[in-house]
Amino acid sequence: MVRLPAVAGRFYPSDPAELSTQISEYLTPQKGFAPRSVKASLVPHAGLMFSGHVAGAVFSSIRIPKKVLILGVRHRPPGSPAAIVSDGVWRTPLGNAEIDRELAEKLRAACPLLIEDPVAHSKEHSLEMEIPFLQVLNPDFHFVPIALGTAHFETLLSVGEAIGSVLAAENDEVLIVTSSDLNHYEDDATTRVKDHKAIEQLMSMDARGLYDVCRNEEISMCGLGPAVAMLTALQVLKASKAELIRYATSADRAGDPSAVVGYAGMVFW
């Protein structure tokens, strides 16, 4: 299977040279800090012009291993509530990114809730937006894409526990990249208050707390499901630290504070 780009030319440039240049501009490591190994990251997936600087700050601060698991949300396409693709390549203007078939099969065996479903991934941008960053930083990486469209906590818990158990048994390092924007389409001041309530739970690495605060405070975090699964997996992997690398809203780039989207870039280890 070759999964073709769904949002090239809209969310990011379709020209390879232009895309490579933009990605490189967003990769701005802090002086004196070498990229480090972490277990997971949280990065936004809006168009590069809005959130690329947040994603780039995260990716430039971490080491990208050969194996990556990308957890994204299923915004619109039909398909399974927990959809995986186990074979083939995903194409971007920078070339093909190969799926790690062996790791995908281990995840499917550990979690029967994961359904082989390329349709759920065919037009979904949340995973696609992260791949060019990974291609620039480690052209040889392999990955497994999982899109979560479910909002049921128990399902997310099961997926996260399965991911954690599989990665804990791996001999090779595997990075979890979780793709999520934060609150959507409220004014800038309201969004910042709501976002930091969600970030507080992410910093505490509290899956149930994040789920509840987003529900109770009406925080429209589109990647809530992937983030809950990630935090659950990190519990199994005995991760204990979280760091907020960068926070912004779309008003920081677009200038309109009346209806914004929030973006957080975080790492966990």
pLDDT tens-place string over residues 145-182: 999 988 799 999 999 999 999 999 999 999 999 999 99
pLDDT of residue 79: 85
pLDDT of residue 30: 66
Q: What percent of the chain has pLDDT over 90?
A: 93
pLDDT category of residue 28 using cuts at 50, 70 and 90 = confident
pLDDT tens-place string over residues 56-114: 999 999 999 999 999 999 887 678 999 999 999 999 999 999 999 999 999 999 999 99
The stretch 200-220 carries a mean pLDDT of 98
pLDDT category of residue 258 using cuts at 50, 70 and 90 = very high
Find out whether 129 and 59 touch, Cβ atoms under 8 Å.
no
Q: Is the pTM of this model over 0.95?
A: yes
Give the DSSP per-residue string, the chain: -EE--SSBTTTB-SSHHHHHHHHHHH--PPTT---B--SEEEE--S-HHHHHHHHHHHHTTB---SEEEEEEE--SS-S-SEEE--SSEEEETTEEEEE-HHHHHHHHHH-TT-EE-HHHHSS-HHHHTTHHHHHHH-TT-EEEEEEE----HHHHHHHHHHHHHHHHH-SS-EEEEEE---SEEE-HHHHHHHHHHHHHHHHTT-HHHHHHHHHHTT---TTHHHHHHHHHHHHHTT---EEEEEEEETHHHH---SSEEEEEEEEE-
The stretch 255-260 carries a mean pLDDT of 92
Question: Residues with Cβ < 8 Å from 233, sequence gap 6 or more?
Answer: 40, 160, 161, 163, 164, 167, 176
Least confident of 149-153, 157-161, 183-187, 224-228: 149-153
The stretch 231-258 carries a mean pLDDT of 96
